[in-house]
Amino acid sequence: MEPEQKARDGYWKGNLILIVVLLSIWFAFGFVIPYLLGPWLNQFTFLGGPLGFWIAQNGSIYVFWILILVYALQMNRLDQRFDVGE
């Protein structure tokens, strides 16, 4: 296999792993925690209100933003490491 092709495979594999990790967290905060655990989490108090409610209506949004930020930063590093960037 040509070295260039090897680098490309490594880059794509790194990209896919990152996607799987980020989307697992996305699913946890988009569905599992607010809707499946939300009712149970409501027994705890956060900022003077029920915790499950807060995560469903505010907390998860902050997590989503962090996920996109992490993706942009990590992909820029991958671009440089495998030298496929612009």
Partner 1 sequence: MTLQIWILLAVFLTFGLYVGIALWARVSTTKGFYVAGQGVPPFFNGMATAGDWMSAASFISMSGLIAFLGFDGAMYLLGWTGGYVLLAVLLAPYLRKFGRFTVPAFIGDRYYSSTARVVAAVCAVAVSFTYVAGQMRGAGIVFSRFLEIPIGWGVVAGMTMVAFYAVLGGMKGITYTQVAQYAVLITAFIIPAVGISLELTGGALPQVAFPQVATQLNLVMEDLGFGAYTSPFTNLSRLDVMLITMALMCGTAGLPHVIIRFYTTRTVRGARWTGVFALFFIALLYTTAPAVAVFAKFNLLDTVVGERYEDRPEWFRTWEDTGLLEFQDKNADGIIDFAPGAMRDPASANELYVDPDIMVLANPEIANLPDWVIAIVVAGGLAAALSTASGLLLVIASSLSHDIFKTYVRPNASEREELLVARGAMLGAVALAGILGVFPPAFVGEVVAFAFGLAAASFFPAIVLGIFDPRTTREGAITGMLAGITFTAFYIITVAPGIGIGWDPWFFGISPQGIGTVGMLLSFVLTFVVSRLTPPPPPDIQELVQRIRYPRGSGAAIDH
Binding mask 49-68 for partner 1 (x = CB under 8 A): xx-xxx-xxx-xxx-xx-xx
CB of residue 11 to partner 1, shortest distance in Å:
7
Cβ atoms of 53 and 40 within 8 Å: the answer is no
Binding mask 12-51 for partner 1 (x = CB under 8 A): x--x--xx--xx--x--xxx--xx--xx--x---xxxxx-
Separation of alpha carbons 21 and 26, rounded Å: 9
Q: Which is nearer to partner 1, 6 or 57 (CB)?
A: 57
Which amino acid, one-letter code, is at 61? I
Separation of alpha carbons 52 and 55, rounded Å: 5
